[in-house]
Amino acid sequence: MFINKYLRMASAVLLSIATSAYAETPVNNEAVFNPAFSLILTGTYGQFQRDPTIPATGFAMNPNPGHVQGFSIGETELGISANIDPDFRGVATMSIDATGGIAVENGFVQSTSLGDGLNLKFGRFFSGLGYLNEQHSHAWDFVDQPLVYATLWNNQLAEDGVQLKWLAPTDSFLEIGGELGRGLDYPGTNTPKNGSNAGAVFVHLGDDIGVEHSWRLGASLHQTTQTDALSTAVPDLLNTSGGVTDSFSGNSQTAGVDFVWKYAPNGNIRERHFKLQSEYFRRNENGLLTYDMTGAKIKDSYSVVQSGWYVQSVYQFMPMWRTGIRYDRLDPGIAQVGALNAGNVISNYAFNPSRTTWMIDYSPSEFSRFRLQLAYDATRQGLPDNQCLVQYIMSLGAHGAHQY
Amino acid sequence: MALINIDLKDTEMKKIFIVFGLLLISGNVHAALNIFACEPEWAALAQEIGGEKVSIYAATNALQDPHHIEARPSLIARARRAQLVVCTGAELEIGWLPVVLRESGNADVASGKPGNFEAAKYITMQEVPTHLDRADGDVHAAGNPHIQLDAPDYPAIARALSERLSELDTANSPYYQARLQTFTQKWQAALLRWQQQAAPLKGNSIVVQHKAFPYLTSWLGLIEVASLEPKPGVEPSASHLSQVLATLQQHPARMVIRAAYQNPKPSEWIAERAHIPAVVLPFSVGGTEGAKDLFGLFDDTVARLLAGLK
């Protein structure tokens, strides 16, 4: 009797050990350092012939993230992430600005247990629109973002809100997603109000062709409203010295398409690989413009279609070494200016800003990279600029996997 | 009339139910368990145990460095419908699998769930670092993750995989158990054969390109005297290769070995100067013509090592 009982107990213990083996050992790689900490150190040296704060011609009412001349430590990025509980994962990325401020770049919660191809994110996150928008700056292939991202998205669109994505149960990749948020970043004006102030929808398609080629195609739509968006130093028809300060309120609708194709011999990216990508965005702004806020203050209708695109390719020609080339182009459009401002506001700049960039980078390991970038910048009419940038990017601590 | 009508309806309803029932059953019978295998060796092992009851997608091939894979859309799409993900674990796939699994929106195969199988958990890991410092290169906390040449440990991994398949697909449990038994018997016989064939290798010194062979060398009694990568994952530099060459003058080696996916240049450089053969090993199923399945992988590996001795 006793023996029987002990045998039963022993077998129960053995069984429980056997069945829970995979549940008891540490399971999440990220959880080895719980939470996972990462720190990105970057710095640049910039040499320019022109003042980098001069905006591209026709884009004085857009952001100009520009460049920093001379030595600069750029942005130091601190990342913390971990599973919160069986249902949620949390991610925070703090960026420490060279001038001293700390900003929450990302701070979001992601569902981990919805299943059925659903992914829910809420908090502050990079919008899923376009191809480059979600990539952190340390993963960029060039020191700076393409002009179309710099002028239409202030480099990168972050949003405070909710994002829901659904991946179709198909052999090819088909993902659709939507976001609602407060319109935190340009072109939004971070205006407090009930409900949402910005929205985006996007769709991504992708697959492999054999083992050597892969691609992704995307389309996105973004909508927000601008409330009293102030722009300073905007040139006008009266040639006011130093420009004027204008204010715009209205709708902003942007459509974009993006494409990336990657190739590696035998699909082995360790040795050599090639990437070609291109994106196009087109924005329609429609509303009321107040000309010269500090003087005349004349308000009338204003609408414009701005657009831009880039094409770039990066080639790793041997382990550790990559080179890349990029061509950028913007179109400021021809604005429809209300009669009251027809003699004040420039409607047609008749100039398309463009830029050609070449870079070479060397990565002694997965965690360190040095880059040299040369650019011929023709974004400012009559002020061509030869630009030279040297950059380092170093990553400490846990380093998460990169997106495609 | 009314009664007859109702009767007719009843039988029709029954027919419909039966047809639906049959459809559901046949659907279950034919629906193979979807497996996403991170590396070709686990795709091959899943095939040995799962047979016709599983449908396998291999995420990588033997000509790709498993450390360096991109989280491609195709991988995310395939992980979406997977019922079981079979990988090495031990951080080998840390650079891509977490993104693939997260983006797939498939909660069943998340790390720690029954649908997530990591082979490294069922063997004794080698080269487990005593301290972690990136100055030591690409070192993994759990130990050397290149476990697929650990021939003696395959039965343990196979048993764990068979148990996992049975857990996920209870109806086919006897089938998986039977295939496990067949595989294990065949494997034990093959192990004896490989060990006999490889006996002349015992005690011979070799150079490795990447620290990817500790399980193979400890099994066959080979002695690793040098590595062409100065630190794991760091590209061989000219100065380090010269050092290796100097080491080889003191401690001669019989051959320099590398995986099929690795750049041949460093091995060939050393081979030429040290006057030893450069041996390419399949490293995984599909790495060479001969490595068509798991048995072929070891047949070919042993044959190539023996050829290197001559």
In A, which residues are within 8 Å of B261 by CB distance? 266, 268, 270
Q: Are residues B51 and B184 in the same domain?
A: yes
Note every long-range contact of A99-105, with CB atoms under 8 Å and residues 24 or more positions apart, other chains counting. Answer: A105/A77, A105/A136, A105/A158
Q: What token pair was written down for B116? A: 């997530």
Q: Are residues B81 and B186 in the same domain?
A: yes
Number of domains in chain B: 2
- ipTM over 0.95 threshold: no
Q: How far apart are CA A229 and CA A118, in angstroms?
A: 36
Beta-sheet strands, E only, within A140-212: 158-167, 173-181, 198-209
> Do A214 and B110 count as a contact with CB atoms less than 8 A apart?
no
Beta bridge partners, B84, equal B35
Q: Does any domain span residue B16?
A: no
> Do B138 and A110 count as a contact with CB atoms less than 8 A apart?
no
Using CB atoms, pick whichever of A166, A268, A400 lies closest to residue B98.
A400
Q: Are residues B149 and B227 in the same domain?
A: no
Q: Are residues B159 and B274 in the same domain?
A: no
What is chain B's percent helix, strand, coil content, to nearest 5?
55, 10, 35
Average pLDDT, chain B: 90
Give the CA dihedral B154, B159, B163, B164, nearest 10 degrees.
-10
Strands B255-259, B205-208: pairing kind: parallel
Q: Chain A within 8 Å of B63 (Cβ-Cβ)? A: yes
Residue B25 predicted with pLDDT over 90? no
What's the average model confidence in pLDDT over B191-217?
95
Q: Are residues B79 and B51 in the same domain?
A: yes
- Of residues B236 and A218, more confidence is placed in A218
Q: Are residues B151 and B218 in the same domain?
A: no
User: How many angstroms separate the Cα of B70 from the Cα of each of A140, A174, A262, B65?
Assistant: 15, 18, 10, 11
- Sorted by sequence, the CB contacts under 8 Å of residue A13 that are 6+ apart come out as none
User: What pLDDT is stored for residue A398 in this prediction?
Assistant: 81
pLDDT in tens, A205-241: 999 999 999 999 999 999 999 999 999 999 999 999 9
User: What pLDDT is stored for residue A28 in this prediction?
Assistant: 45
The dotted CATH code for A49-397 is 2.40.160
**How many residues would you count in chain B?**
310
CATH of the domain at B81: 3.40.50.1980
Q: What token pair was written down for A278? A: 């291109």
Q: Chain A within 8 Å of B118 (Cβ-Cβ)? A: yes
**How many residues would you count in chain A?**
404
What's the average model confidence in pLDDT over A250-255?
97
Domain assignment of residue B234, given as a range: 198-309
Does the CA dihedral A236-A241-A247-A248 come out positive or negative?
A: positive
Q: Are residues B162 and B223 in the same domain?
A: no
Q: Are residues B174 and B226 in the same domain?
A: no
Q: Which of A276, A379, A259 is nearest to A330 (CA)?
A: A379
Q: Are residues B148 and B233 in the same domain?
A: no
* A263-283 CB burial, b ≥16 within 10 A, e <16: bbebbbbbbbbbbebbbbbbb
Q: Chain A within 8 Å of B73 (Cβ-Cβ)? A: yes
pLDDT in tens, A86-101: 899 999 999 988 788 8
Using CB atoms, pick whichever of A30, A112, A404 lies closest to residue B70.
A404
Q: Are residues B208 and B284 in the same domain?
A: yes
Residue B4 predicted with pLDDT over 80? no
> Do B67 and A319 count as a contact with CB atoms less than 8 A apart?
no
Q: Are residues B48 and B177 in the same domain?
A: yes
The percentage of residues in chain B with a pLDDT greater than 90, rounded to a whole number, is: 79
> Do A267 and B61 count as a contact with CB atoms less than 8 A apart?
yes
pLDDT in tens, B161-180: 999 999 999 999 999 999 99
Pick the residue from chain B with its C-alpha nearest to A166. Answer: B105
Find how far residue A129's CA is from the centre of its chain. Answer: 9
Residues 138-177 of chain B with CB under 8 A from chain A are 138, 141, 160, 163
Please state, as a whole number, how many other Cβ atoms lie within 10 Å of the Cβ of residue A193.
Answer: 10
Q: Which of B262, B257, B251, B270 is nearest to B307 (CA)?
A: B257
Q: How far apart are CA A211 and CA B80, in angstroms?
A: 20
Using CB atoms, pick whichever of A25, A166, A268 lies closest to residue B65.
A268
Confidence of residue A34 (pLDDT cuts 50, 70, 90): confident
pLDDT in tens, A137-165: 999 999 999 999 999 999 999 999 999 99
Q: Give the residue extent of every domain in chain A.
A: 49-397
Q: Chain A within 8 Å of B117 (Cβ-Cβ)? A: yes
Confidence of residue B16 (pLDDT cuts 50, 70, 90): low
Q: What token pair was written down for B201? A: 């290798």
Residue whose entry in the numeric block shows the structure tokens 């010295």: A241
- Of residues B97 and B17, more confidence is placed in B97
Q: Does any domain span residue B97?
A: yes
Residue B43 predicted with pLDDT over 60? yes
User: What pLDDT is stored for residue B22 in this prediction?
Assistant: 46
> Do B73 and A167 count as a contact with CB atoms less than 8 A apart?
no
Q: Are residues B209 and B298 in the same domain?
A: yes
- Of residues A29 and B205, more confidence is placed in B205
What's the average model confidence in pLDDT over A187-193?
91
Using a 10 angstrom Cβ sphere, with 0-12 exposed, 13-18 middle and 19 or more buried, the burial of residue B2 is exposed
Q: Does any domain span residue B17?
A: no
How far does the CA of residue A76 sit from the closest CA of chain B (Å)?
A: 20
In B, which residues are within 8 Å of A28 by CB distance? 111-112
Pick the residue from chain B with its C-alpha nearest to A112. Answer: B107
User: What pLDDT is stored for residue B11 in this prediction?
Assistant: 53
